[in-house]
A and B are shown apart, each in its own frame.
Chain A
């Protein structure tokens, strides 16, 4: 017998007669039994890989490892090879456990396709693809290949924290790479030893065993489908995977035998980018149902009505994409993000002792967000270990998230997920407004400094319904199934329409059309409240989900002293009367409840209803940031007053929306802004143009500005009232009596048309917009009267002389009881004259000493902070702004000290309030005289002077310096000289009842209902010439007016018809009193001789002065439009104003 001439094998030694070729019928056992010698395992490893004649040797070996296990004959003595296969299987188990337990660190690359037909032979992937030879079909998505014969084979790289550790393989699902030593951050994986994975089983705790068990159970359940998919093209030649299959089943069985109380349900590591057939194998669907009770269950209730929500897979709760957005706690820790308006995942970073508190966007999927919407507060609060999301920062600085959910009363801890952190280092913000939600409120605004049309991180809003607290979705067909799709602000029109969401992109960053340095922001309006922001970032050219910021639920008490409320079901029926006083520099709004309209008005607080969803809203008083100039104000007031400032958006940002609210500009109430440049109407800020002094603008642009301002104001008012569960059913607004009808008509259109149309309050039953049912206008004087009467200042038999000093006009009103009408108070006169506090601004521009005094005062104060105030010294034209800013920050307690300080440093400044107030009192004296005489008010013995308005403080200045005695004497003299004959019988009583909250009187008066008689004609018949010897050319002849003659519009159409006397008797009388007071008695001004001498120039200046008056020009222009000329100016006041601007201020302030 011959002996086989073969390599030595423990099996298959053949003895046959020599001289023939025989077929070896036991080839596998023979190979198995080959005696390979006494080799150590490492040698076996490298030799085997290099010895198998295919580049895919490594993948093949793992198949052999299972295949030979399956076929291994226990009776055959094995050598190193078969032992080595045991080690390969251990290594494979190690890597499978890694996949099962660390889906947060393990990733599969997208399929890397290998094109065997690639023309370039030495292109790497195609070269490897070519070498698959007849195995290529196994490496191809066979389902796709059935449709597309050219479908290519692929491999997906398996990475651990970015390092390649293996790849997919049809033979063994995955196979470890030839080398993966020095894995970083694998310290907590004890079965990674000496640069490779080993059998993990002895290293796993119960929790990990449980997870691994579910993973294996899932794979075993899917294995048949995996096999079928692989063998689609091989009906008669199937790849034999029985070795692998048996091994996997045994592994599961071993765990079952070893461990008690294994949960049969739970999460399984998920890898969503796996391609077929691997995705079929690892696919796991663990449906979870949320019951209407809020509890979770794996078992679908028979009664569908018990189901509140359905989660397609438990593991889907945490998001897949690998990035997360993180924030550091603010360094001063004053504004913890835990108190922000959105839910964050708060993490204590033990590695960072300096800034241990970190915050992260919620690492949930949209499905998870929807599932937990109303329980997010509980989830992030760490109150319940069974329902908790916990984050920690890993060794390599990633965020590791553990989520535990209680399902069927069992806590299920999902697979940890690890996310790479993208720290937010910019101060960009996303802010929403208002801070409440309601199904009956349809205007929600979102300001974002992360425009969606700019590359980089994006915060994409989505919406919810109020009462339901459900994120708004629409149903869409995907294949055979209906899928609920969340609607985002940038969803397509159909989705938005079907979801009944109206989105208006009010402000859009014109990407590519403006220089890069332009501020990048956008503002949108939605009719539904913002539920949250989906954060998307660019990663390797793809947009990936980086977490969510979800607006806190109504009632959540983690926002410090704020709380979002849901007003959907509130009974909002209290009707309010709203009074709006729009001033040149400041506006004021008050309201009363209709049921108690005579009980005094309440201020609108312009509450800060901004909710910062990203970033921290700036603190009150700090220099305004751009978002504070371009979105709703965050500066509340206590007295209903707000600045009459409109910050506009660059026209390129608003396009066709320029007439819409907020797009047209926003009302700014900042105390402190950065002034780059300014003139009489505009301030250039870091965010663009801030408009002020708009009250008298009437051209198209001016009208737009006024409209935009009042719209923004109205929205805020509506929000404040709605939050107080009130409806603004009546709107009252004021105007200066001197206002021309052209201006008035514009305001009427705004108040009666524009504002009601944007009222964002809906009738809960009809869904119709609830506009104010009554809109009424009053002069400022009328309003002030009503206010005074509402406060019961003790009118008695006295005549109230109210002087409401505004920024550009002063209203003088005379109020007394009408004895002919049951002593009901009557407004006898209301004169509106255009001399007011604004003159101060001219003065401060001209006087370096005055500016220095203001600067020094500022520097001596701690609380008052005006950014860049040093500019007041060098840039005089900006001084009015800085002066105003200082004024704005003075409290009622500060004024006295302020007046004293200015008195010490620049006493001459007091000449201005002395002049203006004296002039007004002199003129008012004349009005009083006329009124008492005309109306036979014989009972009047006292005239009570009551300064009002913001500018009313001019009166207060003098009460400090030079003091009340001399000042009141000065006022009395002005009044008496003005009153003229009979003055000795009248006593002027200076009242300082209104020394706080000046300015609020008009709006308060608007909002109250008090009994007052007033004749609308008085609006036009109160102003008098108040100067003697004024002649007017009428019908070819000069007629002379008495000083009591009512000033009528008609006289002024042709100014040259006036003839002014050489000696302006009344004015010179006043001037003497003034000079005597400021020069001799109070010693405020030194060079008084020149002031007196130059009064002679006035006559010649007067015509030109009026002719150049901007209001006069406006009246002439209006005449061309309306054929109606409206302009009246008491000549005495005109004289006074002309003297003030052209002589007094230049002389006194010429320093």
Chain B
């Protein structure tokens, strides 16, 4: 059983965790205990809220008030341990206030003057409640101290538990920690370079015998600019002393990259950086298009395939070699660490602009990804569309009519959360309208149509009616793709549901899984493998 540690930081980091969670949901992290730390300065941030909903749905799908465990060859196979931390800027909401700058200026002006040397007056005075607003020079200092302060002040915090787990893993071996976030924004960009050091210091406060920095391997995304949002108008500029504008994201990215490339601390702590970004920044993720959002619940941005790539970077990191060099000539983590060397990795996508499974995982894993993503998508129809509503019917006993029974004792809440999860993954139905889930947002970010993994018709439904009519038995995978053949027929008078039920009934109840909902999911997974003709 693997223990992996993932930290997502800032708005982009939240969305990357979201993508990572979906990878967990489709079953890319079998037999893995995932420790997921969401770290953001803005706890009211819309993306943060969405992530919390997602992880809650994930965890509750795997069981409400039950011991959970990691599974294999099923959906929701990874055991997700979720932690979150947000520095509290409700009382001391500026740098000046936090560091008592005014008093220091009076009592020890020389020392206080260092702040004048490095920070503008505006930087020292802006409200931190909505994050660091691309002020990473300030944010890095604030985040570092917030983490250590949290450990000092709060011995029951999520953060402490996360680090405690890391200490345990560190004492047992060489845990891997992957950090997700952007280098061009605020909180994520601020925190990536200092997180290993902050964790090391924090861990030393809990257990002074532990040297996380020495034992653990660190990887991170260097996620450069890939989206934009409208520039602030004059009124907004006047209202906000410091405001992050996306026109400088590229420059920020460049500055940060330069820093990473040269910084001694970064070199000592990180082994792999996964660079990613897009050439253009046309993508506007915000739902509110006409004003700049500094943070808060309004900041709920659509997901992007780059975030999915980030999640796959983590996937790669956790699956990369520790010793030696792999076939792709990538050096093992141990050697990199010993040599204080950082690998800057990048990935190529097909030049035709169409994103293929290979682009994320390579040829050796593309089938697994295609299978799991495709089947999970298929399951979303079975779960979300009222005409199927498979899990609810199983739980309520309505499927007894088709001789599927024994699932009535599933905790209804688990089913509800499964549905909730699937709606966040694929689509939701709110007041009769379709709300795009993550998959549809990512598809859109890739350019729509046939430019993203699955059959464009998957994304062509815009009403319940269209969804109801959608033949997901035949149209999950793109035509002319490697997976075109993975589909099933229903017969002239049959139905998708009937075909599914027929095959479901034939599937075997898994013995190793105790939780009924997870048993049911496993059987659905197996059934879909069967139907879509994937090896199980």
Contacts and interface: CB of A to CB of B under 8 A. Distances in A.
Residue picked from B144, B258, B346, most chain A C-beta under 10 Å: B258
Contact of B265 (A44, A79, A133, A237): A133
A55 B138 contact: yes
8 contacts: A23-B343, A39-B247, A50-B138, A51-B251, A51-B252, A53-B259, A122-B149, A134-B268
Interface in A72-128: 79-81, 109-110, 112, 114, 121-125, 127-128
Interface in A549-578: none
A486 B4 CA distance: 71
A361 B82 CA distance: 73
A134 B250 CA distance: 27
A36 B363 contact: no
Nearest to A165: B117
Interface in A162-210: 164, 166-167, 177-179
A1066 B110 CA distance: 94
Contacts of B192: 53
Interface in B240-290: 242, 247-248, 250-259, 261-265, 268, 274-280
Nearest to A157: B113
A109 B329 CA distance: 52
Interface residues of B, number: 94
Interface stretch (A13-21, A140-148, A844-852): A13-21
Interface stretch (A26-34, A321-329, A370-378, A762-770): A26-34
B82 to A, nearest CB: 25
A974 B358 CA distance: 149
Given A54-B194, A133-B197, 5 more contacts: A47-B251, A52-B259, A60-B262, A122-B149, A124-B101
Interface stretch (B118-126, B161-169, B377-385): B118-126
A654 to B, nearest CB: 45
Contact of A121 (B114, B145, B193, B344): B145
B359 to A, nearest CB: 5
Interface stretch (B11-19, B21-29, B129-137): B129-137
Contacts of A31: 254, 257-258, 261
Interface in A1-26: 1-8, 14-24
B109 to A, nearest CB: 10
A1043 interface: no
B328 interface: yes
A27 B253 contact: no
A863 to B, nearest CB: 60
Contact of B347 (A21, A55, A179): A21
Contacts of A384: none
A1029 to B, nearest CB: 96
B86 interface: no
B104 interface: yes
Contact of A128 (B141, B254, B264, B351): B141
A21 B345 contact: yes
Contact of B306 (A5, A79, A130, A167): A5
Nearest to B98: A122
A54 B259 contact: yes
B217 interface: no
Interface of B: 98-101, 104, 108, 110-121, 123, 134-141, 144-145, 148-149, 152, 183-184, 189-194, 197, 224-226, 242, 247-248, 250-259, 261-265, 268, 274-280, 306, 309, 313, 316, 328-330, 340, 343-351, 356, 358-359, 361-363, 366
A37 B247 contact: yes
A56 interface: yes
B346 A24 contact: yes
Given A34-B257, A48-B251, A52-B256, A5 B348 contact: yes
B140 A14 contact: no
Contacts of A127: 99, 141, 145
Contact of A21 (B114, B189, B316): B316
A255 interface: no
Contacts of A649: none
A63 interface: yes
A4 B226 CA distance: 14
A21 B330 contact: yes
A8 to B, nearest CB: 4
A54 B140 contact: yes
Contact of B362 (A14, A20, A52, A58): A20
Contacts of A121: 145, 148-149, 152
Contacts of A5: 276-278, 306, 309, 346-349, 359
Given A51-B189, A121-B145, A8 B279 contact: yes
Contacts of A80: 251
Chain A contact residues, majority secondary structure: mixed
Nearest to A158: B117
Nearest to A81: B254
A1014 interface: no
A108 to B, nearest CB: 12
Contacts of B349: 2-3, 5, 18
A122 B99 contact: yes
B256 A58 contact: no
A35 interface: yes
Contact of B118 (A15, A58, A110, A135): A58
Contacts of A155: 114, 117
Nearest to A82: B254
A22 B347 contact: yes
Nearest to B196: A133
A58 B117 contact: yes
Interface of A: 1-8, 14-24, 27-28, 31, 34-37, 39, 43-44, 46-61, 63-64, 67-68, 79-81, 109-110, 112, 114, 121-125, 127-128, 130-131, 133-135, 155, 157, 164, 166-167, 177-179, 237
Contact of B193 (A54, A61, A109, A124): A54
A236 to B, nearest CB: 10
Contacts of A48: 251, 255
A50 B98 CA distance: 19
Contacts of B279: 6-8
Contacts of B120: 46, 178-179
B316 A51 contact: no
A924 to B, nearest CB: 86
B242 to A, nearest CB: 8
Contacts of A46: 120
A110 B109 CA distance: 13
A24 B251 contact: no
A57 B189 CA distance: 13
B402 to A, nearest CB: 42
A64 B108 CA distance: 32
Residue picked from A21, A134, A178, most chain B C-beta under 10 Å: A21
A8 B261 contact: no
B251 A81 contact: yes
Contacts of B113: 109, 112, 157, 164
Contacts of B152: 121
A112 B114 contact: yes
B224 A14 contact: no
A113 to B, nearest CB: 9
Contacts of B351: 1-3, 15
Contact of B114 (A79, A114, A130): A114
Contacts of B258: 31, 52, 64, 68, 81
A36 B251 contact: yes
Contact of B135 (A2, A39, A50, A135): A50
Nearest to A26: B344
Contacts of B347: 2, 4-5, 18, 20-22
A7 B193 contact: no
Nearest to A61: B255
B275 A56 contact: no
Contacts of A18: 347-350, 356, 358-359
Contacts of A1: 348, 351
Given A5-B309, A80-B251, A53 B139 contact: yes
Contact of B358 (A19, A23, A59): A19
A76 B63 CA distance: 56
